Amino acid sequence: MSELPPSLNPPVRTLLGPGPSDIHPRVLRALAANTVGHLDPYYLSLMNDMQQMLRATFRTANPLTLAISATGSAGMESTVVNLIEPGDSMVVCVNGVFGGRMVDVAERAGARVTRVERPWGEVFEPADLKDALVKARPKVVGIVQAETSTGAWQPLEEISKLVHDAGALLLVDAVTALGGIPVEVDRWGIDAIYSGTQKCLSCPPGLAPASFSPRAVEVILQRKTKVQSWYLDVGMLAQYWGSERVYHHTAPINMTYALYEALRILHEEGLDAAQARHLRNHRALKAGLAAIGIEYTTQAGRELPQLNAVRIPAGVDDLQVRSALLNRFGIEIGGGLGAFKGKVWRIGLMGHGSRESNVLQLLGALELLLQEAGHKFAHGASVAAANAVYAGG
């Protein structure tokens, strides 16, 4: 090369979009720790401890709980391709982008997919699935607990009972849920679940926490065909994560360090306390946005605390405001996807990013930009409304 590219110098951002979220400094330090081998005794001991923390985070005793060496989308693919064989029936609940993605993954695995749909921003009731369960007689039912494209919080307990009464397995996307809202794998009878590191766990993207119930493991062991993906075959991965320690792939050692430290931070605070913090900051943000005339797009009462999908005010340019937030204030928020493109902002308050200072900073910056765009409201109303929530406890 005649000239080297410039040295690495990423800008400092406040990440309040749909992910990745702000990373805790302790997690960043963990990434820089000395690398050891993926079969080093220290690393194997670390894996054991991380598994225990993952089980506690998922609230499960499932032996097959692990961190898949890839992003959350690979978590989706791993759960689907291990449970589905060509010709199997699968019902997928679609009310946003990631339900639709699960359909695509299942079809590529050879499933006969039945889509059950709700409008974007709404959630499913058990009655929505009854006909599909009778007609499709599925092996697996897939559903997204926290739909990142719409901010919808999907209740699971009643749906889980309905799915199991129909003889099917329940597969849950918890990419944006884990660490931010309750995830009760054992109590709700979830058979397979996956998440990602870059949302409420506040770790860089790169690993996919996942867990399989004994019932799901039994289904995998009884497969008649090989799992479609060699890399994501949890039968082989279980031998690496289990007591055998059979080499499968070179694990991302330093990413494991990062997730380990992120989980320690989460459990130092306590799951319940972390969820309460997410809810409190959501309530302050929601009050602040309401004070300047910004409404949520999500079904009332089903809004995610960690992912706030709101309508862009009439006459306000989506890209202009988001670009100004980024370039003038160093704040990233997300735009809408699919049917919501150009109509919705997605504001993340995830993990380490769910802090009072971030809520107040965002509201102050947003007020200025909206005033410049001609949106009418009482100056200072959003910050005052948010502070009223904080002052009320």
For 343-369, the three-class secondary structure string (H helix, E strand, C coil) is CEEEEECCHHHCCHHHHHHHHHHHHHH
* Secondary-structure breakdown of the chain: helix, strand, coil percentages, each rounded to the nearest 5: 45, 15, 40
Does residue 349 share a domain with residue 335? yes
Tell me: the pLDDT tens digits for 148-180?
Answer: 999 999 999 999 999 999 999 999 999 999 999
Query: Which tokens in the block code for residue 317?
Result: 């340019």
Q: Of 202, 237, 267, which closes a domain? A: 267
Residue 154 · residue 176 · CB < 8 Å = no
Does residue 98 share a domain with residue 160? yes
Tell me: the pLDDT tens digits for 366-387?
Answer: 999 999 999 989 899 999 999 9
Q: Of 242, 267, 292, which closes a domain? A: 267
pLDDT of residue 311: 98
pLDDT of residue 216: 98
Sign of CA dihedral 9, 15, 17, 20: positive
Does residue 277 share a domain with residue 242? no
Does residue 166 share a domain with residue 48? yes
Q: Is residue 116 helix, strand or coil? A: strand
Average predicted confidence (pLDDT) for the chain: 97
Does residue 206 share a domain with residue 64? yes
Percentage of the chain with pLDDT > 70? 100
Distance, C-alpha 384 to centroid of its chain: 30
Average pLDDT of the residues in 327-335: 98
Q: Is the pLDDT of residue 143 over 90?
A: yes
307-311/344-348 β-pairing: antiparallel
The verdict on pTM exceeding 0.95 is yes
Average pLDDT of the residues in 78-84: 98
Does residue 354 share a domain with residue 233? no
Residue 303 · residue 319 · CB < 8 Å = no
Average pLDDT of the residues in 295-305: 98
Q: Of 267, 285, 316, which closes a domain? A: 267
pLDDT of residue 53: 98
CA within 13 Å, CB half, 49: 15
Does residue 215 share a domain with residue 287? no
Average pLDDT of the residues in 306-317: 97
Q: Residue 145: which of 89, 98, 187, 103 has the closest Cα?
A: 98
Does residue 285 share a domain with residue 260? no
Does residue 288 share a domain with residue 193? no
Q: Who's near 10: CB < 8 A, 6+ residues apart?
A: none
Q: Is the pLDDT of residue 1 over 80?
A: no
Range(s) of the domain holding residue 256: 26-267
Does residue 353 share a domain with residue 211? no
CATH number for position 143:
3.40.640.10
Tell me: the pLDDT tens digits for 261-278?
Answer: 999 999 999 999 999 999
Residue 90 · residue 142 · CB < 8 Å = yes
The residues with which 65 forms a beta bridge, in sequence order, are 211
CATH number for position 330:
3.90.1150.10
Quote the number of domains for the chain: 2
DSSP string, 168-230: -EEEEE-TTTBTTB---HHHHT-SEEE--SSSTT---S--EEEEE-HHHHHHHHT-SS--S-S
Does residue 315 share a domain with residue 252? no
Average pLDDT of the residues in 95-106: 98
Does residue 383 share a domain with residue 238? no
Q: How confident is the model at residue 2 (pLDDT cuts 50, 70, 90)?
A: confident
Average pLDDT of the residues in 243-263: 96
Is 89 part of any domain? yes
DSSP string, 252-298: -HHHHHHHHHHHHHHHHH-HHHHHHHHHHHHHHHHHHHHHTT--B-S
Cis before residue 20, ω within 30 degrees of 0?
yes
